[in-house]
Amino acid sequence: MSVTETGATIWLTGLPSAGKTTIAYELAGRLRGEGHRVEVLDGDEIREFLSAGLGFSREDRHTNVQRIGFVAELLAANGVKVLVPVIAPYADSRDAVRKRHQSEGTAYLEVHVATPVEVCSERDVKGLYAKQAAGEISGLTGVDDPYEAPESPDLRIESHRQTVQESAAELYALLSERGAA
């Protein structure tokens, strides 16, 4: 790592099966290939290891997002590009993470992977939409639980209109423009 390596948190928010994690790993590969220090804080892994025991109430979701935001800021402040593909359904939770980064002087970008619920439901990577439709689960973000889409994200990606590589390239361009790639 060069002494001037700049860290940043890149938060990818969107509905379940929107493509957040896929885009994050695609971009991570490109950044690592260029010699950047990169971490992906995958929402499922965080729930298993850092936020075990939390449910899906509004309060628990907020706590989960704040924990992830804390870890992301810590890594980013130490020169790591941190890709965070986590739903973070509530605007106030995302705003609190942004404010934490701002108060610490750490770069933060919010990316809305704006895939319509119909497309997400067809993709249904984890089978959540099918389970919700069958009445096996409730509280699915964007279906029977709220999702507050960002009003003015740093970037809005319509993953259903382009390839994963194109989505990652669009995000890479933003990082370059902001001096973080």
Rounded to the nearest 10 degrees, the angle between the axes of helix 91-104 and helix 58-77 is 20
Binding site listing for ATP: 14-21
Nearest to 98 by CA among 57, 49, 151: 151
- Which residue is listed with tokens 């960002």? 150
Three-state DSSP class for residue 24: helix
Q: What letters, b where the CB count within 10 A reaches 16 and e where it falls short, cover 19-40? A: bbbbbbbbbbebbeeeebebbb
Nearest to 79 by CA among 170, 9, 27: 9
Binding site listing: 14-21
Task: Please give the Cα distance from 13 to 138 (Å, whole number).
Answer: 20
Three-state DSSP class for residue 12: strand
Nearest to 18 by CA among 123, 139, 168: 123
Amino acid (1-letter code) at residue 155: L
